Chains A and B, each alone.
Chain A
């Protein structure tokens, strides 16, 4: 078995093969490389650390299960994990809301509740509050694009939509966020 440090530069596909053959150091390398990012994404989507940990663990468990059948070169491990985690998050949000995500109407700009909360919140909290106003798919697209800094083609793979659809979702999301946040810049110390 290779030591964990020696695996820092090893490709994800190779790590998957090693893990499928029982190498736990490969699993450790994959865990440290991907689990934190999956957890952060889940937390941003769900805004609940316990739920986010559940989702991230479920996504990682699915990765361990699929390892023996992993087809090298077909998908990136990170993209695959983001996709699984995104779907799990959307399922949970769907159950919470009890409505079809596609049926959720676009929010009106300048929601007073966001303005009110921004008085006592810092920028991150204000952003999170504003993100909650977005439809889930817009929220996911904006998060992946502007916080996780993934490329549009990567996001398209994760969300199983076209690159154009990703661009549309992020543009609409940012327009809504701008409407909710930029009017409050002074209060947030951004002027």
Chain B
């Protein structure tokens, strides 16, 4: 009579294969471990670097103001420009308010003298 073999579960039967695979793990390449360590050092160095401060960038308008000498210069230039434009556009007789310090214009001087000379000559002719 044949002796019946004991039933072995597939788990037990596969165990020999899994055990062989576990044993095959082998040694890990030292260079691989050093590479991993180098990555760790590199990451630490990246974190240690101070964050780069943002560079202040002036807008174009501010750069223009600076190139003209600052706000004071620009204010003075603007005022002078405005005065120049006003003086150029308004009627001359409206400029009477300008105080010329009592000085007469050449025309006024000529006109007065012309009249006075002419009247003087006429008087001389009449008197003979």
Contact = CB atoms under 8 A, between A and B. Distances in A.
A159 interface: no
Given A19-B40, A64-B39, A178-B13, A35 B18 contact: no
Interface of A: 19, 22, 24, 27-28, 30-32, 35-36, 39-40, 44, 53, 56-57, 60-61, 64-65, 67-68, 122-124, 126-128, 146-147, 149, 174-175, 177-178, 181-182, 185, 190
Contacts of B39: 57, 60-61, 64
A122 B36 CA distance: 32
B36 A31 contact: yes
A190 B22 contact: no
Contact of A22 (B11, B25, B48): B48
B99 interface: no
B25 A68 contact: no
B33 A32 contact: yes
A124 B36 CA distance: 28
Contact of B16 (A32, A57, A65, A190): A190
A78 to B, nearest CB: 15
Contacts of B125: none
A27 B14 contact: no
Q: From DSSP, what is the main secondary structure of chain B's interface residues? A: helix
Task: Tell me which of A24, A28, A64, A68 has the highest count of chain B C-beta atoms within 10 A of its own C-beta.
Answer: A64
Interface size class of B (residues with CB under 8 A): 20 to 34
Interface in B11-43: 11, 13-14, 16-18, 20-22, 24-25, 28-29, 32-33, 35-37, 39-41, 43
Given A19-B44, A64-B39, A177-B14, 4 more contacts: A35-B36, A53-B32, A56-B32, A146-B14
Contacts of A67: 43
A147 B47 CA distance: 37
A124 B10 contact: no
Nearest to A148: B22
A158 to B, nearest CB: 18
Contact of A127 (B20, B37, B47): B20
Contacts of A181: 14, 17
9 contacts: A24-B41, A32-B33, A35-B28, A53-B29, A127-B18, A146-B18, A147-B18, A147-B22, A178-B14
A64 B40 contact: yes
A149 B35 CA distance: 27
